[in-house]
Structure 1
């Protein structure tokens, strides 16, 4: 199968995940405009329609591990015209699981590129993130500052080491940020690589999205709500007066991927081999305000902020001491903090605002969903998630 047969065959790696489901939903809704005849999903877990998209035979689902046996994946990539590579390990535990980050995010991405070349896939859009730019301000600080910066003006470390952990000092998120930047570099450096047929070349681009919210979120808001539910719904003020962070709705991130796909299909080469910031018009504020809004709109509980606050540098120092102890004990305890406290401290105190000029000009990107619709859909989904979680907890207690 190929685009010459009357339409494109597109593959979404990580199709069962947060962003993957949003991309599949939009591809199905816009398949006529995009001239798509088949959508494939590849994930390590069985596919489940968690976002409520249309059920259709147009969608074919596969199970496989991009960091595992590649021979079994050739059948998935065979006949594919374009790939959206969303599959990744999202993990900011401390100490970082370097081996698994290397296996999935780096080795897995290299495998996806190789499979594209061997199966004559013409286009590859990679799901990166702005954590690759989450670096210390002036190279020394415990927070970051990105003020309306474009991709070329936003600092990104130069990776010249073969070991993930040797680059950790370059980032404010240990392990994960470095793995995502390495994977992004693999994809962008493969732009223009000749395909196996010796007739076509691989065109690539990377979408850098800020912290993302929306339906099917299983990390950001859900984990925070779960944490707050055990602490009387009080959000601790651990960053002094705090910073401001740009957030983005998952539906708009998915639309950004599709805009990149459309841009790669034309011959202008405007975003070929380049990273692209994708943002929307979600209000820029500190994370606690956003969580309060989601809780208020969901009408299940009310999130408050603590009356006290810790200065950022004090909390960062305490987090450093705890992480130091956990790291020393890790060879014996094998215990990891589920989230790096230093990373959380740095994020909540940072000023993070990105300029999407490249996306607007070269991909003709404009947010598909306005802030009100984005918030309404998200709050409704988080409320549903909370109700289902409560039912599950009650059934466990009844046993």
Structure 2
């Protein structure tokens, strides 16, 4: 295997990487879910970087392109119950506005490129977009580590937030990776999936995210609060705080961590779960890691995390 480390914004690096390949699986992205996210940087990496890869695929006759997007392009204040690709609308306001919009713009580039003539004049580019739900497992730096660090900074106890009914659907990273392989294989044999969007989930239970995090908290010597804190109170306090930060920000720029984004609070206290029938029927995708395997592998990873440096 040849490894090239580089920046997808660098067209020469991209050209070197794709020359001679038959499929591009595009997973690279900048994730910035802070309320004052760096929109220019998000656009530069997620949008321009994707455009560079598409242009390189056309120039170097790469016939297949799999783009790993995110289900966050659909997550707003409204709950999603067993959402399918053709039933869930893009929200007016996303939980993570700048990040989600950058990924949505990248999706549009990829979908528009489907069917484009390659440079050789004979073949066409076929593209698909995968939207995995929030992922956990090896190399996770955001989801479960966010819970772990919050607990560590709260005397070893993760505050639990109550919002009547909370359910989210997460996907083990190994199954998301397998979906990429299945999409690649299917593009080689079935051109009809070109230009399509697919939801990617697995058999991880749909559950309260705080309960989901509890085994990983325990593996790190942390715990979940038995007491619950009302969502309405926390969102009110956080929204007021952010309002005043925005007022003084032109004079005194105040950096806020992603956890201080009201959208993040809405995200983890809402209901989001999806229907993967389309990916099963059209991509022949089925998870290869079951619930127990996914948790075992994830426990091994999270229990060895250095929370001081991640």
Name the structure 2 match of 1:211: 134
**2:242 maps to 1:290:** no
Q: What is the match of residue 89 of structure 2?
A: 155
Aligned pairs for 1:321-360 (under 5 A) are 321-339=240-258, 340-360=260-280
Q: Does the residue aligned with 2:177 lie in a helix, a strand or coil?
A: helix
**Within 5 Å, which residues of 2 pair with 1:177-216?**
177-216=100-139
Secondary structure of the corresponding residue to residue 114 of structure 2: coil
Q: Which residue of 2 aligns with 1:272?
A: 194
Structure 1 residue 130 corresponds to structure 2 residue 71? yes
Write out per-residue CA displacement over residues 296-339 of structure 1, whole angstroms, 9 at most, x where no aligned residue.
3x3x31322251412x2332222222222223333333332121
Q: CA deviation at 1:223?
A: 2.7
Q: Is the 8 A contact 1:101 1:175 kept in 2?
A: yes
1:62 alignment partner, SS class: coil
Contact 2:7 2:13 in 1 (8 A): no
Aligned to 2:146: 223
Cα distance in 2 for partners of 1:185, 1:250 equals 24
How far apart are residue 385 of structure 1 and its match?
Answer: 1.6
Q: C-alpha separation between the residues in 1 aligned to 2:163 and 2:87? A: 28
Q: Is the 8 A contact 2:151 2:222 kept in 1?
A: no
Distance 1:230 1:147 in 2: 33
TM-score for both structures, normalised by structure 2: 0.94
Give the stretch that moved more between structures: 222-231 or 315-324.
315-324
RMSD of the alignment, in Å? Answer: 1.8
2:284 to 359, 364, 368: 364
In the TM superposition, 1:1-399 aligns within 5 A as 59-67=1-9, 69-137=10-78, 145-157=79-91, 169-269=92-192, 271-296=193-218, 298=219, 300-310=220-230, 312-339=231-258, 340-386=260-306, 389=307
**Residues 256-302 of structure 1 deviation map (CA, whole Å, 9 limit, x = unaligned):** 11111111111351x21111011011111111101102233x3x313
> Match of 2:97, SS?
coil
TM-score when scaled to structure 1? Answer: 0.74
What is residue 15 of structure 1 aligned with on the other side? none
| Cα distance in 2 between the residues matched to 1:105 and 1:95 | 17
Q: 1:369 to 1:199 in 2, by over 3 A?
A: same
> For structure 2, which runs of at least 5 residues remain unmatched after alignment?
none
Q: How much has 1:190 moved relative to structure 2?
A: 0.8
SS in 2 for 1:64: coil
Cα pair 1:243 1:350 within 8 Å, conserved: yes
Q: Which moved more, 1:246-255 or 1:313-322?
A: 313-322
2-structure distance, mates of 1:221, 1:308: 19
Answer whether contact 1:150 1:354 (CA < 8 A) is retained. Answer: yes
1:177 and 1:200 mapped to 2: Cα distance? 32
CA distance, structure 2, for counterparts of residue 295 and residue 203 of structure 1: 43
Aligned residue for 1:113, secondary structure, equals: helix
Q: Is the 8 A contact 2:25 2:65 kept in 1?
A: yes
Gaps of 5+ in 1: 1-58, 138-144, 158-168, 394-399
- Secondary structure of 2:250's counterpart equals helix
